Amino acid sequence: MSLTLRTISREQHLAYIQSLPSASHCQVPAWADVKTEWRSENLGWFDQSGELVGAGLVLYRQLPKIKRYLAYLPEGPVINWYAPNLDDWLQPMLAHLKQQGAFSVKMGPPVVIRRWDSAAIKSGIQNPDVKRLRDVEATHIEPRAFEVSDRLRKMGWQQGEDGGAGFGDVQPRYVFQVPLANRSLDDVLKGFNQLWRRNIKKADKAGVEVVQGSYEDLAEWQRLYEITAVRDHFRPRPLSYFQRMWTVLNSEDPNRMRLYFARHNGVNLSAATMLVVGGHVWYSYGASDNIGREVRPSNAMQWRMLRDSYAMGATVYDLRGISDSLDETDHLFGLIQFKVGTGGEAVEYVGEWDFPLNKLLHKALDMYMSRR
């Protein structure tokens, strides 16, 4: 099968994404407008009959002082990753990006390699010899994903560092998901652990209400988010980032981004943003106050978001990134502990891959990043 690759319009790109069961929210055309510090391009793969069979959002970040770029396809491109002729998909892409002045390409194939159900993770947490998720036997392994990794290596792609910090926002390799396909809501709730079910009841009894917010409520979201940033020691994004995100994503699709608040006695205690692409729903950002934790607003809010996702016909509710550490002394351990209570599964992707088009500049960038 010979494929041709060329720049496509946003409309073509969006129509292609809408024809699929789902794709990453980092690969919808409007994501380029969220990431204003990058230049962007929409790529399309066409088969011999001229039909669009794959698409990719490329973000270009210029190197300081020279007209050379890092080309980044977050959680993309959206192509047939299991195609035996993966070369025919990726070679034209590399040639095109090189022409555009890219010295290095970074991509994140949306290919799942392993899954662990909650029971497997819990037994891992209870075993003192187990420190990482990868030390626990996976509940499901996708053999084709290993073939994808082998093919990429043979082509000269290099596997990126796990969650390597760096240029822009590197996407998580490990995420936590609650599968919703072919399950009843009752079944989903039964999958929650006792603590979660108890906390959902507690919030209900205390009269916690969960409501959807609008653009006007983003300032209130920001208040809770900044409280969270101080408590958890991270640098918060500015209000303008969320306002832009809301405007550009919802102008592409009115249901792309949602905002939720859990409130008690009229006071907002926790908040979250949610992203929707086809059958895939992501809990994207979360925030909470230091007060009112005893009425369990976060549990109530997650349960409402899950129910809304289910009502929309979502096949998966994605709680996004986790660390693969199962060590209780690790500062990120609380995150997996909170998420595992939903009875979902930990999911490992094949991670991010780099292709140095100019080895010297690629090396210089690596050194620059490691010093930061």
Q: pLDDT category, 371, cuts 50, 70, 90?
A: low
Return the percentage of the chain with pLDDT > 70, whole number: 96
CATH topology of domain 112-349: Aminopeptidase (3.40.630)
Q: Model confidence over 216-239: pLDDT tens digits?
A: 999 999 999 999 999 999 999 999
In this prediction, residue 331 carries a pLDDT of 85
In this prediction, residue 171 carries a pLDDT of 84
In this prediction, residue 162 carries a pLDDT of 53
Burial class of residue 250, CB neighbours in 10 A (0-12, 13-18, 19+) = middle
Q: Is the pLDDT of residue 170 over 90?
A: no
Are 39 and 59 spatial neighbours (Cβ–Cβ below 8 Å)? yes
Calculate the CA 16 to chain-centre distance.
Answer: 20
Q: pLDDT category, 349, cuts 50, 70, 90?
A: very high
Q: pLDDT category, 166, cuts 50, 70, 90?
A: very low
Q: Is the dihedral of CA 132, 136, 142, 143 positive or negative?
A: positive
In this prediction, residue 168 carries a pLDDT of 42
CA distance 26 to 58: 10
In this prediction, residue 163 carries a pLDDT of 43
CA distance 171 to 195: 30
Mean confidence (pLDDT) of the chain: 94
Q: Model confidence over 246-269: pLDDT tens digits?
A: 999 999 999 999 999 999 999 999
Q: Which residue has the higher pLDDT, 41 or 363?
A: 41
Average pLDDT over residues 285-314: 97
Q: Is the pLDDT of residue 365 over 70?
A: yes
Q: pLDDT category, 372, cuts 50, 70, 90?
A: low
- Tokens of residue 88, six digits: 């025919």
Q: pLDDT category, 332, cuts 50, 70, 90?
A: confident
Are 20 and 78 spatial neighbours (Cβ–Cβ below 8 Å)? yes
Q: Is the pLDDT of residue 47 over 50?
A: yes
**Terminal Cα-to-Cα distance of the chain (whole angstroms):** 44
C-alpha neighbours within 13 Å on the C-beta side of residue 93: 30
In this prediction, residue 366 carries a pLDDT of 73
Q: pLDDT category, 164, cuts 50, 70, 90?
A: very low
Whether a cis peptide bond, with omega within 30° of 0, leads into 77 is yes
Q: Does domain 4-108+352-370 have CATH number 2.60.40.10?
A: no
Q: Model confidence over 108-147: pLDDT tens digits?
A: 999 999 999 999 999 999 999 999 999 999 999 999 999 9
Write down the domain spans for the chain. 4-108+352-370, 112-349
CA distance 316 to 344: 10
Q: Is the pLDDT of residue 59 over 60?
A: yes
In this prediction, residue 370 carries a pLDDT of 64
Which amino acid would we find at residue 305?
M
In this prediction, residue 334 carries a pLDDT of 87
CA distance 269 to 208: 9
Q: pLDDT category, 165, cuts 50, 70, 90?
A: very low
- Tokens of residue 206, six digits: 């205390």
Average pLDDT over residues 291-313: 98
The structure's pTM equals 0.93
Q: Is the pLDDT of residue 60 over 80?
A: yes
